[in-house]
Amino acid sequence: MCGIVGYVGPSSALDVLLGGLKRLEYRGYDSAGISVVTNGEIQTQKRAGKLQVLIDQLSASPMADAQMGIGHTRWATHGAPTDGNAHPHNAGAEQISLIHNGIIENFSELKKKLVSEGIEFESETDSEVAAHLLASEFANTGDFEKSFVSVANALQGAFTILAINKSDPGLVMAARRNSPLVLGVGDGENFLGSDVAAFVDYTKTAISVGQDQIVKLRADGFELIDFNGNPVEHEEFKVHWDASAASKGGWESFMAKEISEEPQAVGDTLMGRLDANGDVNLSEFDGLSIENLENINRIIITACGTAAYAGEVAKYAIEQLARISVSVELAHELRYRNPVIDEKTLVVAISQSGETMDTLMAIRHASERGAKVLSICNTQGATLARESDATIYTHAGPEVAVASTKAFSAQITAGYLLALFLAHATGKTENLNQLGKELLSLPRKVKTTLEMTGDVAEFANQLKDIQSVLFLGRNVGFPIAMEGALKLKELSYIHAEGFAAGELKHGPIALIEPGQVVIVLVPAPSSAESLHAKVLANIQEINARGAKVIAIAEQGDDEVAEFAEKVFYTPKTDPLLSPVLSVVPLHIFSMELAKAKGLDVDQPRNLAKSVTVE
């Protein structure tokens, strides 16, 4: 949610800011704007709509060249997506300009005070309150840095704010509380961004700005202080991908590119963690000793959206292999129901960005109650990783499309690694090496799955006018059914629901009518307790009512073809590992159906890539 860029240095600020905002488009936004200081004045341009609308305006009304500035893409919270509500917000007779990501919870009382002092507001946003408050403080003190610190302490909620002052054209001030901010360290120039994509074209050296920290950014250096003005230590990290990794590279969409990268995402997540014998090695557990794990009697996996479905798959794997009780909790519900969490609880938090606010608040709640926290995260230097006792990084690379694909596959893979590790740690070692070896074969099998889905686009085009799709799955297929439904909702804006196949007769069968499309994830014939036969019975019940069945089944399962209108096959693997394969045709189907409807698969309406507010 929202993209933020700040820059000070010798390059064209306009180029740096617009380039950074372009690379942050994946976060989701509905307006964009920039401010620069040039010739002792602040110049600002902002427009509702896509970034191209702002670029077109800048072409028609060029801004003077500058060497510092701030840029913003806004995802509307307070106030509709309009030119007036777009950022930056200027105040103090154009003395200062400010951008903001997050929600200021005490904006109403602050605004009332400012209005009583004669301040007039031009937008409906909470962000403009911070701008006027800063201008008011600066008018009283004449000290921009001191005023900025004061404002940071006055605000409540989740925020990252960047501000510039025309009286000091070499300084960008920034503050972070419960909202992401990364500092890019260059040679004679420095950068700020919501994430490293904002400046990866210019530098691979970055610093994650910590909670309640303030940055004073200049071309020749920077200073980090806390909200009390005290210096704070920082640690640099290297970004291990370049800007080309976040470009389409010839693909028609980022989503198509990222689906094609699922084999690599799975392989890179396994790399160095499984040897040829199938033995797992997770050095990431340095923060969690074996003694810690031996005391664990319960695991809670917490996440939101797609990541929660990856957690559901991990639950099946951990309970089957390590025999530890696991529950999966939506992060935004976990801390509000006063859950039973103590020092014998391991909380596993899953987030692609590592900045999902609901998930961060959940792990903080768990840590306060003595639980150990392990995170599964795709982003170096993310808040989630820094606040966890240990982190398994998924090496999926940058994921730009809002709807997650390769990151989801990598999260499931990390969940399997965790299950194997916990099974070894608790002495449940039977058949683990065999499963580990099969896990090593998954990247090749995901690639084969992609090669077997060539006619999905044609089939999706035939169904472009459908308004509802139901998904059924059992065992590890159930969370994949829910993931398939979510992807279709996100991308095609139609009704879609995922059900446990065994629930069909307990209510959902009432939705089955002639022409209804039902996608069924069929367990392998080798799956436990005759699940294959049970799901085939479900399919026959659906067919008897005139619905249209599309099946996802294991290669060689010829029996399914007798009952389904269309079958998409995946290579044989251990049934526990099948989600990494069966989800691939669902990702492709969702993308192709949205394309057939003429929709934007990379930036679906109303959605943001990283939800950084509660």
pLDDT, tens digit, 9 for 90 and up, residues 172-198: 999 999 888 999 999 999 999 998 889
* CB-based contacts of 571, cutoff 8 Å, min separation 6: 445, 448, 449, 452, 554, 555, 581
| pLDDT tier, 1 (very low <50, low <70, confident <90, very high otherwise) | low
What is the set of domains in the chain, with CATH numbers?
A: 3-245 (3.60.20.10), 249-440 (3.40.50.10490), 451-603 (3.40.50.10490)
The whole-number pLDDT of residue 454 equals 84
Mean pLDDT of all residues in 82-97 = 93
CA separation for the pair 163, 116 (Å, rounded): 24
Mean pLDDT of all residues in 427-444 = 91
DSSP 304-347: -THHHHHHHHHHHHHHHHH---EEEEEHHHHGGG-----TTEEE
CA distances for 142 relative to 150, 165, 167, 218, 534, angstroms: 13, 11, 10, 19, 75
Query: Is the pLDDT at 312 greater than 90, yes or no?
Result: yes
Single-letter amino acid code for the residue at 549: V
Looking only at the bridges linking them, the beta strands covering 468-473 and 390-393 are unpaired
* CB-based contacts of 256, cutoff 8 Å, min separation 6: 591, 601
Q: Is the pTM higher than 0.75? A: yes
| Tokens, residue 492 | 């095609």
Mean pLDDT of all residues in 16-21 = 94
Peptide bond between residue 339 and the one before it cis (omega within 30 degrees of 0)? no
Query: Is the pLDDT at 365 greater than 90, yes or no?
Result: yes
Report the percent of the chain where pLDDT is more than 70: 97
Average pLDDT score over the chain: 91
Mean pLDDT of all residues in 299-307 = 96
Own/partner long-range contacts of 341-344 (Cβ < 8 Å, ≥24 apart): 341/300, 341/365, 341/366, 341/369, 341/370, 341/371, 342/369, 342/370, 342/371, 343/295, 343/370, 343/371, 343/372, 344/295, 344/296, 344/297, 344/298
* CB-based contacts of 93, cutoff 8 Å, min separation 6: none
CA distances for 162 relative to 34, 57, 433, 453, 543, angstroms: 12, 23, 51, 46, 59
Query: Is the pLDDT at 287 greater than 70, yes or no?
Result: no
Query: Is the pLDDT at 242 greater than 80, yes or no?
Result: no
CA separation for the pair 244, 86 (Å, rounded): 29
| Tokens, residue 123 | 């937008």
Q: Which residues are catalytic?
A: 2, 609
3-state secondary structure of 190: strand
pLDDT, tens digit, 9 for 90 and up, residues 527-558: 767 799 999 999 999 999 999 999 999 999 98
CA distances for 215 relative to 191, 194, 393, 610, angstroms: 11, 14, 27, 23
**Listed ranges 268-272, 483-487, 539-543; the one with the highest mean pLDDT:** 483-487
Query: Is the pLDDT at 290 greater than 90, yes or no?
Result: no
CA separation for the pair 33, 25 (Å, rounded): 13
Query: Is the pLDDT at 431 greater than 90, yes or no?
Result: no
Mean pLDDT of all residues in 210-238 = 94
